[in-house]
Amino acid sequence: MGKLVEPHGGKGLTCCLLEGAELESEKKKAASLKQIQISPREEGDLIMMGIGGFSPLTGFMGRDDWKGVCDNFLLSDGTFWPIPVTLSADKSDADSISLGQEIALISSQSGELIATMKVTEKYAMTEKDKMYECEKTFMGEGTKTAEDFWKIAKDDHPGVQMVMKQKDVNLAGPVKVLSEAEYPTKYKGVYLRPAETRKIFEERGWATVAALQLRNPMHRSHEYLAKIAAEVCDGVFIHSLVGNLKPGDIPAEVRVRCIDVLVKKYFVPEHILQGGYPLDMRYAGPREALLHATFRQNYGANRMIIGRDHAGVGDFYGMFEAQTIFEKIPRPTAPGKALLCEPLKIDWTFYCMKCDGMASLRTCPHGKADRVILSGTMLRKGLSEGAPIADHFGREEVLDILREYYGGLTEKVQIKTHAAATGAMK
């Protein structure tokens, strides 16, 4: 693997994607197998297992792994893992499947055959179990007690809603992935497998690589974060989510155009690589920050840029809880089992009129009135309402793309703001 960080788990890239004659043979066999419909989130998880993005996972988690991850951030073999990766099925379907039986996993979005799976375990997920997973995965410092959390989570947290809508039985077992869905064609040149990014990094001679997670269009704060990382690392991997988001978020193809124009006009290309990955957002805040670092390690990054409210939603998480969680996770001593991708922690960033440039709470001594608070939520809200965008919020080339997108919508998008987005700052 050269000078790059090793893939997570100590087993190299564990890729479950079949190709060539093996793929064709498995597709023929799948035609006679019992079919189970899978959710968009499960489809994205499968593709990541297929391409090695979820190394060392090679299948959906059994109950011991699920509970170990919820309770202690650890798989049953002692490997660090931050978020459950599970597959649910209706009880009637689960009852008809025998242990050891192979099944075909079909996309609920496209009807395409995505994978086959050998079912090695079935375990019930009661409402109590689902609530337990939600409290462990999604409850942050923004809600002090479970009672407070549930007062708002079922209505306001998309990740919680996703888990609570899961079916009644989880199926576990190894998978063989047969398709990467639309990603290789729809996002050609952007959708990259971990083996591909590692090859590019090595060809460029990069040893220290920082990953920048994006789910919003790239505004000036994102640009600043990437440039800070470029100063201290060999290169920056701008890695945006091209899977599903919540209603009101901007589609991936629009966000990719925004990144393209920024990279071409405002970055040194030798130190930047843009890529996309096929997951759905879970909006798990601190836990999702850990997941982002885990699979970025598989892509070859040894640093994960973590700024304000990383992967958050609403006011569920403390503004820098996604940074401090890295100090609280277990550090297994067995080879390959610990997370090796470390956080690159950056304070709240903004444009300061008096500083006449981008700054952070660590570098700017001026007051709130002098600062342009940069928030993807506020940007989307302003654009959706046709409101003027504050100077220095985003590059004009990016804003032109976003205005074109919002101008083409036939229905107005409702954007809910929260304390972080409206500029609450110490």
pLDDT value for 421: 47
Domain with CATH 3.40.50.620 in the chain: 188-426
**Does the pLDDT value for residue 327 go beyond 80?**
yes
**pTM of the predicted model, to two decimals?**
0.93
Taking only the tens place, the pLDDT of each residue in 9-29 is 999 999 999 999 999 999 999
Is 216 one of the catalytic residues?
A: yes
pLDDT value for 170: 98
Compute the mean pLDDT over every residue in the chain, rounded to the nearest whole number: 92
Which band of pLDDT confidence, cut at 50, 70 and 90, is reported for residue 415? low
Range with the poorest average pLDDT among 40-54, 228-242, 289-303, 404-418: 404-418
Range with the poorest average pLDDT among 61-70, 73-82, 349-358: 349-358
Q: How far is CA 169 from the centre of its chain?
A: 25
Nearest-angstrom CA–CA distance, 39 and 19:
24
- pLDDT (average), residues 138-147: 90
List 216, 244, 298, 302, catalytic entry: 216
Share of the chain above pLDDT 70, in %: 95
Which band of pLDDT confidence, cut at 50, 70 and 90, is reported for residue 416? low
List 215, 308, 371, 395, catalytic entry: 215
Q: Which fold does the domain 188-426 belong to in CATH?
A: Rossmann fold (3.40.50)
Is 298 one of the catalytic residues?
A: no
First to last CA, the chain: 44
- pLDDT (average), residues 137-164: 93
Domain with CATH 3.10.400.10 in the chain: 20-125+166-181
Which band of pLDDT confidence, cut at 50, 70 and 90, is reported for residue 414? low
pLDDT value for 39: 97
**Does the pLDDT value for residue 1 go beyond 50?**
no
Taking only the tens place, the pLDDT of each residue in 155-198 is 999 999 999 999 999 999 999 999 999 999 999 999 999 999 99
Instruction: Answer yes or no: CATH 3.40.50.300 is held by domain 20-125+166-181.
Output: no
* Phi, psi for 414 (deg, rounded to 5): -90, 125
